[in-house]
Amino acid sequence: MSMFLGNILPVSSEKIDLKKLLENVAYLTH
């Protein structure tokens, strides 16, 4: 999960796609 968060942080500094983010979370928690 920390790896996942590490991938989000650089993205959030630009533009964050909430839908994509939720899809990634759903995939990991599936």
Element (H, E) at 14: none
Q: What is the pLDDT of residue 18?
A: 75
Question: pLDDT at position 19, please?
Answer: 80
Number of independent structural domains in the chain: 1
User: 21 to each of 4, 10, 27, how far by Cα in Å?
Assistant: 10, 13, 10
- The string of pLDDT tens digits covering residues 1-30 is 566 666 666 655 556 677 888 888 888 887
Q: What is the pLDDT of residue 22?
A: 84
Tell me which residue range forms the domain holding 8: 1-30
Q: Are 28 and 1 in contact (CB under 8 A)?
A: yes
